Amino acid sequence: MHELALRTDPLQFNLVPSAARTALRNLVAEGEKYFGSDRALRRYAIDPDLFGPEAFQEARRMDSRFVDDGDITPHSI
């Protein structure tokens, strides 16, 4: 058991940074989707008083209402 523990600890250590990098990469991609261009800002027109998790939550909520036809805006729903 001790040998197994010695071998799995480094594997677990290597997985954590990888998982953190993946989570960060996904968060950045999601940020670009919702806030990364003028078109995205128009499409997801988030209340400027919202920021951080609240802004993402609102963008996700609005995203779930869209059918991707290219030019739909929140104001046209």
What confidence tens digit (pLDDT) does each residue in 53-70 have? 898 899 888 888 875 555
Which of 13-17, 21-25, 49-53, 57-61 has the lowest average pLDDT? 13-17
pTM tops 0.85: no
Contacts of 33 (CB under 8 A, 6+ apart): 40
pLDDT of res. 47: 83
The phi-psi region of residue 52 (left if phi > 0; otherwise alpha if psi is between -120 and 50; otherwise beta) is left
